[in-house]
Structure 1
Amino acid sequence: MSEPQAAFQALLTLAQRSRAAARGLPAQADIRPHWSGIGFSLMGSYFVAPIGEVSEMLEVPNHTHLPGVQPWVKGVANVRGRLLPLFDLAMFFGDRLGSSRKHRRVLILETETLYSGLIVDQVFGMQHFPMDEYTEQAGAVPSAILPFVTGSYPQGGERWSLFRPALLAEDPRFTNAAKS
């Protein structure tokens, strides 16, 4: 065998060994579209709010109490130079926050006409749910919250109710926080 033929044969052998040792491509998994939202707890129930309806999450800031407002209005805080009204969401619904003060968080709702902070028991951050598991039935939530819930997703043995802050922003009881 000539030198060029020997070299070519060596390359063929190397190529065959490489193919024999190569791993196959990973199995193609079925990709399910997911819906994402901000998970939080309130009054012992799990909720998720659409990302587009919550502009920010933060710890409960220092705030100033306001006279002549409903008891669920906690006050107003200065957040990066903007005045943020703070609302105790559980108290608005006729209950009280169940978590310790250090776990409470504020979900900031910002629309064209409203900038408000909703105090909730705890925030779990981004939650992702397979879209095909959505149901229009709410999870186990207090009846006062039902008008603001449009469905739910199961996850981790819990049913996460889809809470719509935009519906809350349209409620005249919420937008008129002055004492009667």
Structure 2
Amino acid sequence: MSTAASAAFVKLADYLVRCRRLAASLPMQEDAVDYWSGVGFTLDRHRLVAPMDEVAEILSVPAYTRVPGVLPWMKGVANVRGRLMTIMDLSRFLGRASELQERRRRLLVLDQNDLYTGVIVDEVQGMQHFPLDAYRPVPTAGDEDLGPYLRGGYLRDGELWSVFSLTRLAQDPRFMQAARTG
């Protein structure tokens, strides 16, 4: 072995010893945790979360025009950036009234196929991230009115966040039939 090759080998061995010594102080590698994300919101003190792919955007409740001959939970229609959007009050649809003033409430926008509608909720709590293993498959809100729209929930810090499906809501024939009959 030549002197140059021998010096290179000694240098590499020195690097190995120093790397192992310095690596001892590094944190242990942790397993990556997969998360499910959604838009958190409250409705009548229930903590709910809507899947990210069902919420096109979040808005303040825009000025809207009332429509005659509709049920009380259909608030009206609004022009949002040149598109006509129906405005629905989720609390009223479920047969209750919110304690919050409308200007303090928020709108979750559902934009799927030909349906462009805003659903008024009490408060939006931003993006929520839950470890996948925190999922509970049973409806969790303890409220029969919400039950048909729930897809289980996630447990975090002892609190249950029920997954509320806006798609299931939009598929409900009662939600799609806002006209007063009779």
TM-score in terms of structure 2 length = 0.85
Partner residue, 1:22: 22
Tell me, yes or no, if structure 1 residue 81 matches structure 2 residue 67.
no
Aligned to 2:168: 167
Greater mean alpha carbon deviation, residues 51-60 or residues 156-165: 156-165
Compared with structure 1, are the counterparts of its residues 16 and 163 closer, same or farther at alpha carbon in structure 2 (3 Å cutoff)? closer
The alpha carbon displacement at 1:20 in A equals 8.6
Q: Identity percentage over the alignment?
A: 45
Aligned residues: 174
Structure 2, unaligned stretches of length 5 or more?
Answer: 1-10
Helix, strand or coil for the counterpart of 1:22?
helix
Deviation at 1:102, TM superposition (A): 4.2
SS of 2:104's equivalent? coil
Structure 1 equivalent of residue 110 of structure 2? 109
1:119 maps onto 2:111 in alignment: no
Q: What TM-score does the superposition give when structure 1 sets the normalisation length? A: 0.86
**Are residues 89 and 16 of structure 1, via their aligned partners in 2, closer, same or farther at CA, if it must alter by over 3 Å?**
closer
**Residues 140 and 20 (structure 1), Cα distance of their counterparts in 2 relative to 1, 3 Å cut:** closer
Identify unmatched segments of 5+ residues in structure 1.
1-10
| Separation in structure 2 between the aligned mates of residue 129 and residue 46 of structure 1, nearest angstrom | 13
Q: Is the 8 A contact 1:134 1:153 kept in 2?
A: yes
Shift in alpha-carbon separation, 1:141–1:84, aligned structure 2, 3 A: farther
- The question of whether the paired residues in 2 share the 8 Å contact of 1:34 and 1:129 is answered with yes
Q: Is the Cα contact below 8 Å between 2:141 and 2:147 reproduced in 1?
A: no
Is the contact made by 2:40 and 2:127 (CA closer than 8 Å) also made in structure 1? yes
C-alpha spacing 1:20/1:177, structure 2 compared with 1 (3 Å): closer
Q: Quick check: 1:98 aligned with 2:99?
A: yes
The answer to whether the 8 Å contact 2:134/2:156 transfers is no
Q: Cα deviations across residues 36-63 of structure 1 (Å, max 9, x unaligned)?
A: 0111000110111111111110111111
| Structure 1 position 23, deviation (Å) | 5.1
Cα deviation for residue 26 of structure 1 reads 2.6
Distance 2:69 2:16 in 1: 84
